[in-house]
Structure 1
Amino acid sequence: MEEFWKNFVNWWAEMGASLYQWLIETPDGASMNLLTRIIIALILLIVGKYLIKLFMRIFRRVSGIKSQVGIDVSVKTFVAAALNLVLNIVLVVFFLLILGVDMTSMATVISSATVAIGLSLQDLISAVASGVVLLRSKHFRTGDYIRIDSSNGTCEGTVSSVGLIASTLETFENQHVVIPNNQVLQGVVTNYSTNPTRRLTVDIDVDYSTDVKQCKKVMQDVIASDKRILKNPTPIVTVYNLAEFSITMRVICYTKRVDYWDVFYDIREKMLLAYRANDISIPFKRIVIENYQGSDAQHAAIKLVEKEKNNK
């Protein structure tokens, strides 16, 4: 790392030597005074910043046109940020060269500072590296609906941007969530926007006295009446579980990704209305409280004690 920075600084020092001689050296070989150097350096800094902004504006406009033919918005944003950073570093190097700073002698200092900064910014560097990997791997893009399961918990929403350091999601509750890229890469990412269709699973409990065949027919009729539910793969209606107080009926069907959430809620409402129309009971837990008084209370207590003894 230290050798890299020495070579980097030496290259810019040699490149700036001609610029230094052209701007700073007078025709008779005498150097200009410090005030003149500062003035020229400031002019270069102001003009350079303006040119960088102009260049970045043109770049964003051109890349905006390119994004219409398949380049992801996240890639465009990342490249623009990286390019802007490099151009500003180059501008600062030339600014220091014009001021007469010996960049070669600063190579060791810069390399040592780089190591120290690198150690203190490990998480930041890891996030940037993860951002590069995410953009190249294209696990998800701007506009995709994803879920991220990481050590810090679970979050799902629509990707609004993939930046240099972090990715941002807009949740279903309209919350703006920022997640460091290294946590995204280390977690498990589920992309719901990759496939054109999604599977929908609906579980509904019915009473044990219910005619299962009638219940299945009612559910199949509800599914057949909704054109948003795909015919292929064929929807499945089956008995999923025999619980303590109810029978769990399960519906498995597929719908287009864009229709998923609408069908997710509508199908439950339609099932409930169809159950009520066909006198199909949906059980629920009940708590019965009996009030014993006098001899009845004593009798209930004796029965409870006898029951506990029998259990032992």
Structure 2
Amino acid sequence: MRDFILNHSSDSIYTLGVIIGLLLIRLILTTTANKVGKRQGINLARVRLMVRYINFLMVFIATFLLMFVWGVKAEQLSLVFSSVFAVIGIGLFAVWSILSNITSGVIMFFSFPYKIGDEIKIHDKDAPLEGIIEDIKAFHLYLRTHEGELITYPNNLVLQKAISLVKKDAFVDDGSDSL
């Protein structure tokens, strides 16, 4: 055990530095996401979703850096990551719309001008939709029509269609979850 500690003391210090550095970056990013959410009045569930994305990114970066610190050669890393990404790419090729919706959800978190409770009209040439935004999830938006119908609309289409604000804060959220 003593030999291991002596032989790998610099690796242990670098590991500690990587972990502390990434924890600080994670803290900064989550604090920023929380501040943006609070300042823009974004629903807490959406802020938590962004924090999950940040955590996933930090774990991915930590894995990459720690493998490098502990002596995995760049060729070996590139082989592992290219193989993993090839499998993931082939697996996700059929479900590319899921990635598109997640990306759209992230974009909507930072720049979507409408909030839960706003009444909007989606100008779709086939069938225009009008209703109140009940929730905005990672993949889709819940829209309640005037007839009481609940429509789930994909996030990637929300960013592609023209949307107009009919009425700001059409209802007040009482904290109960109707879904």
**Shorter chain as normaliser: what TM range?**
0.5 to 0.7
Label 1:129 to 1:172 Cα distance change in 2 as closer, same or farther (>3 A).
same
Match of 1:72 in 2: 42
Shift of 1:146: 0.8
Q: Distance in 1 between matches of 2:52 and 2:97?
A: 19
Between the aligned residues of both structures, percent identity stands at 17
In structure 1, what residue type is equivalent to 2:99? I
Q: Distance in 1 between matches of 2:96 and 2:167?
A: 32
In structure 1, what residue type is equivalent to 2:115? R
Match of 1:110 in 2: 84
List per-residue Cα deviations over 1:146-202 (Å, max 9, x = no partner): 1223366333221122222211123333333211111222223121135x9xxxxxx
In structure 1, what residue type is equivalent to 2:54? L
Structure 1: stretches of 5+ with no match in the other structure: 1-25, 31-54, 197-256, 259-312
Between the two proteins, the alignment pairs up a number of residues equal to 140
TM-score by length of 1: 0.35
Match of 2:96 in 1: 122
Q: Distance in 2 between matches of 1:175 and 1:84?
A: 35
Shift of 1:77: 4.3
List per-residue Cα deviations over 1:97-120 (Å, max 9, x = no partner): 6xx9x7724122123224324422
Q: Distance in 2 between matches of 1:113 and 1:173?
A: 45
In structure 1, what residue type is equivalent to 2:145? T
Q: Does 1:171 align with 2:145?
A: yes
Instruction: Indicate the structure whose relative CO is greater, using CA pairs within 8 Å and at least 6 residues apart.
Output: 2
Match of 1:81 in 2: 52
Q: Does 1:182 align with 2:156?
A: yes
> Does structure 1 retain, via aligned residues, the 8 Å contact 2:122–2:128?
yes
Q: Distance in 2 between matches of 1:190 and 1:126?
A: 23
Q: Distance in 1 between matches of 2:55 and 2:125?
A: 33
Match of 2:166 in 1: 192
TM-score by length of 2: 0.56
Q: Secondary structure at the match of 2:152?
A: strand
Q: Distance in 2 between matches of 1:76 and 1:143?
A: 17
Q: Secondary structure at the match of 1:192?
A: strand
> Does structure 1 retain, via aligned residues, the 8 Å contact 2:119–2:131?
yes
Match of 2:135 in 1: 161
Match of 1:27 in 2: 2
List per-residue Cα deviations over 1:123-167 (Å, max 9, x = no partner): 112222322333333331121111223366333221122222211
> Does structure 1 retain, via aligned residues, the 8 Å contact 2:50–2:106?
no
Q: Distance in 1 between matches of 2:53 and 2:109?
A: 13
Shift of 1:63: 3.6
List per-residue Cα deviations over 1:280-307 (Å, max 9, x = no partner): xxxxxxxxxxxxxxxxxxxxxxxxxxxx
List per-residue Cα deviations over 1:46-73 (Å, max 9, x = no partner): xxxxxxxxx99xx69x949x62x54422
> Does structure 2 retain, via aligned residues, the 8 Å contact 1:77–1:163?
no
In structure 1, what residue type is equivalent to 2:50? V
Q: Distance in 1 between matches of 2:81 and 2:55?
A: 23
Larger Rg: 1
Q: Distance in 1 between matches of 2:143 and 2:3?
A: 63
In structure 2, what residue type is equivalent to 1:27? R
In structure 2, what residue type is equivalent to 1:76? V
Q: What root-mean-square deviation, in Å, do the aligned CA atoms of Structure 1 and Structure 2 show?
A: 4.1
In structure 2, what residue type is equivalent to 1:85? F
